[in-house]
Amino acid sequence: MKIVVLTGAGISAESGVPTFRDADGLWEGHRVEEVATPEAYDMAPSTVHRFYDARRSALLMVQPNAAHHALARLEEALGDDLLVVTQNIDDLHERAGSRRVLHMHGELLSALCRACDGRVRWDSDLVDLPPCPGCGVTELRPDVVWFGEIPYGMDRISVELARADLFVSIGNSGAVYPAAGFVQQALRYGARTLELNLEPSDGTPWFHEARHGRASELVPHWVEELLGTAQSAS
Ligand code: BJW
């Protein structure tokens, strides 16, 4: 069985990484549009750098939770038949042991050079405008996908959705495209669809099944259920 899992901010919430659309509509004190657009970066690069620099250092203080670990166990069992597409820019899937992870909105631990388009692994601050290790120009920005930019890996995601027997969305608001449209794409190709989220999302009506609760409980339970079924069927 081929499975595509889409993860969003909700899977990392219990690790202590704030989601984007918490009750007050603010994201660590900023409106998303203030920091997550190329226009915001052009207008106030230092503000945007400081915001991402703070999130990069905060990443050192958090750990993957039971939901990340459960998906890594699922990959051990399914190998190439599982792909995790994540909207998250943290590295918690990788730290839990997942290897087949596609970061469609980029990665905090990467920098993108606006001069040479090079992508380089980066684990320190960018606010002081360090030179690009590739071309030497001081045009490094966070390697993340802002509103109005094209997410990474779209061709591969379309191919994987077309092949999937099951599409599972975990901790997603269903409010940001193109990820919010994956469920409809998967449905058109004949996949079964399952939502695991704290509460009903904007996309809930599109799923065959929706389970609501904490990712740290729902995901391990779903993985055990699936592996139990897979073992008894073999
Ligand atoms: C839990 C939980 C727990 C909490 N357990 N669950 C009008 C209509 C339609 C589309 C558009 C439109 N105008 C513009 C657009 C397009 C635009 C868009 O979608 N805008 C919307 C606002 C309408 N999209 C784009 O611009 C994208 N690019 C694009 O479309 O290019 C064109 C193109 C596409 C494809 C092919 C060719 C061309 C780019 C979008 C980039 C988004 N970037 C950000 C920032 C990334 C970097 C960073 O992290 O700083 O991505 S914004 C932010 O939102 C971030 C997230 O990945 C993304 C989605 O957030 P997510 O994951 O859903 O998080 P939350 O916080 O919203 O929700 C968390 C959920 O978890 C909630 O449901 C909770 O209940 C739940 N939860 N605790 C389980 N313990």
Q: Work out the number of other CB atoms within 10 angstroms of the CB of residue 116.
A: 14
| CB of 5 shorter than 6 A to ligand 1 | no
Pick the catalytic residue from 69, 105, 208, 212: 105
| CB of 67 shorter than 6 A to ligand 1 | no
Q: What is the Cα–Cα distance from 72 to 128, expressed in whole angstroms? A: 36
Is pLDDT of 25 > 80? no
**CB-based burial label for 81 (10 Å; 0-12, 13-18, 19+):** middle
Percent of the chain with pLDDT over 70: 95
Average pLDDT over residues 111-124: 98
Q: Which of 5, 15, 20 to mutate to test the pocket of ligand 1 (most atoms within 8 A of CB)?
A: 20
The answer to pTM > 0.75 is yes
Average pLDDT over residues 129-138: 98
DSSP letter assigned to residue 3: E
| pLDDT of the residue at 231 | 60
| pLDDT of the residue at 31 | 79
- Cα(145) to centroid(ligand 1), Å: 10
Q: What is the pLDDT of residues 174-229, one digit of tens each?
A: 999 999 999 999 999 999 999 999 999 999 999 999 999 999 999 999 999 999 97
Q: What is the Cα–Cα distance from 167 to 191, expressed in whole angstroms? A: 6
| pLDDT of the residue at 20 | 87
| CB of 135 shorter than 6 A to ligand 1 | no
- Cα(214) to centroid(ligand 1), Å: 19
Handedness of CA 35, 41, 42, 44 (dihedral sign): positive
Residue appearing with tokens 């889409």: 6
- Nearest-CA residue for ligand 1 atom 75 is 198
Is pLDDT of 24 > 70? no
| CB of 121 shorter than 6 A to ligand 1 | no
Q: What is the Cα–Cα distance from 216 to 92, expressed in whole angstroms? A: 13
| pLDDT of the residue at 158 | 98
- Nearest-CA residue for ligand 1 atom 31 is 150
| CB of 198 shorter than 6 A to ligand 1 | yes
Q: What is the Cα–Cα distance from 120 to 132, expressed in whole angstroms? A: 8
Is pLDDT of 108 > 70? yes
- Cα(226) to centroid(ligand 1), Å: 28
Q: What is the pLDDT of residues 40-52, one digit of tens each?
A: 999 999 999 999 9
Cα Rg, the chain, nearest whole Å? 18
Alpha carbon separation from 138 to 102, 107, 113, 125 (Å, rounded):
28, 19, 8, 13
Average pLDDT along the chain: 94
Q: Is 221 a catalytic residue?
A: no
Q: Which of 92, 177, 202, 204 to mutate to test the pocket of ligand 1 (most atoms within 8 A of CB)?
A: 177
Reported as a pLDDT band with limits 50, 70 and 90, residue 230 is low
Reported as a pLDDT band with limits 50, 70 and 90, residue 139 is very high
Reported as a pLDDT band with limits 50, 70 and 90, residue 116 is very high
Q: Across the strands, what pairs with 103?
A: 86
Q: What is the pLDDT of residues 84-107, one digit of tens each?
A: 999 999 999 999 999 999 999 999
214 with 200: CB under 8 angstroms? Answer: no
Q: What is the Cα–Cα distance from 28 to 170, expressed in whole angstroms? A: 22
The identity of residue 158, as a single letter, is: S
Q: What is the pLDDT of residues 5-23, one digit of tens each?
A: 999 999 999 999 989 877 6
> Residue 43 phi/psi, 5° resolution?
-75, -40
- Nearest-CA residue for ligand 1 atom 23 is 176
| pLDDT of the residue at 35 | 81
